[in-house]
A and B are shown apart, each in its own frame.
Chain A
Amino acid sequence: MFSCILPAEQMDRFIEHLSASHRVFGPVRKGVECSFDRVTTASDLWFDYHTTILPPKKFFTPPRETIFTFQSEEISKIEDTIPVEKQVLLGVHACDMSSFGFLDRVFLGFRSDPRYLRRRNNFLVFALTCKEVAETCFCLSMGTGPASPPGYDVLMTDIGGRYLLEAGTNEGRDVLKPLNLSQATPEDIEAKRACLERLKGEFKRTVDRARMVQLAYYNQEHSVWKKNGDICLACGQCAMVCPTCFCFDVRDKVDVSLANGERYREWDVCLLKEFAEVALGGNFRKSRTARLRQFMCHNLSYGAMQYNLTKCVGCGRCIKACPVHIDITEIARELKEGSS
Chain B
Amino acid sequence: MKDPYARDPAEILNVETETADTKTFTLKFVDVERQMNFGFIPGQFIVISIPGVGEAMFSISSSTSNRKTFSTTIRRVGRVTGILHSKKAGDKILVGGPYGSGWPMAELEGKDVLIVTGGVGLPSPRPVITYIDEHRNDYGFLEVLYGTKTPAESIFVREYEAWRKMKDTRLALTVDAISEGMTWTHNVGVVTTLFNEMMTKPRNAGVLICGPEVMMHFVVLDLMNRGFHEDQLYLSLERRMHCGIAQCGHCQLGPKFVCKDGPVFKYSEIKTLPDSGI
Query: Which A residues fall within an 8 A CB radius of B?
Result: 67-68, 70, 75, 77-78, 106-107, 110-115, 117, 217-218, 220, 246-252, 254, 258-259, 261, 263, 265, 268, 270, 275-280, 282, 284-285, 290, 293-294, 297-298, 301-302, 305-306
Contacts and interface: CB of A to CB of B under 8 A. Distances in A.
A279 B250 contact: no
A106 B249 CA distance: 10
B128 interface: no
A247 B274 contact: no
A220 B274 CA distance: 7
Given A250-B55, A282-B238, A113 B247 contact: yes
B264 to A, nearest CB: 17
Contacts of B239: 276, 278, 284
Interface stretch (B2-10, B136-144, B172-180): B2-10
B3 to A, nearest CB: 5
Contacts of B78: 279
Going nearest first, the 9 A-B pairs with the smallest beta carbon separation are A247-B249, A305-B255, A302-B255, A111-B245, A279-B77, A250-B242, A254-B52, A220-B274, A70-B51
B252 A261 contact: no
Nearest to A116: B247
Interface in B9-44: none
Interface residues of B, number: 37
A280 B51 CA distance: 22
A109 to B, nearest CB: 8
Interface in B233-258: 238-240, 242-243, 245-250, 252-255, 257
A294 B252 contact: yes
A220 B77 contact: no
A114 B247 contact: no
Contacts of A77: 3
B272 interface: yes
A248 B252 CA distance: 12
Q: Would you call the interface of chain A mostly helix, strand, loop, or mixed?
A: mixed
Contacts of B266: none
B254 A261 contact: no
Contacts, number: 107
B54 interface: yes
A111 B52 contact: no
Contacts of B243: 250
A70 B252 CA distance: 30
Nearest to A274: B240
Nearest to A248: B248
Contact of A276 (B52, B240, B248, B272): B240
B250 A294 contact: no
Contacts of A218: 272
B1 interface: yes
B110 interface: no
Contact of A252 (B53, B240, B257, B275): B53
A115 to B, nearest CB: 8
Contact of A220 (B53, B238, B240, B272): B272
Nearest to B259: A110
Contact of A261 (B51, B240, B257, B273): B51
Contacts of B238: 278, 282
Given A75-B51, A252-B51, A276 B242 contact: no
Given A75-B51, A261-B51, A67 B240 contact: no
A112 B1 contact: yes
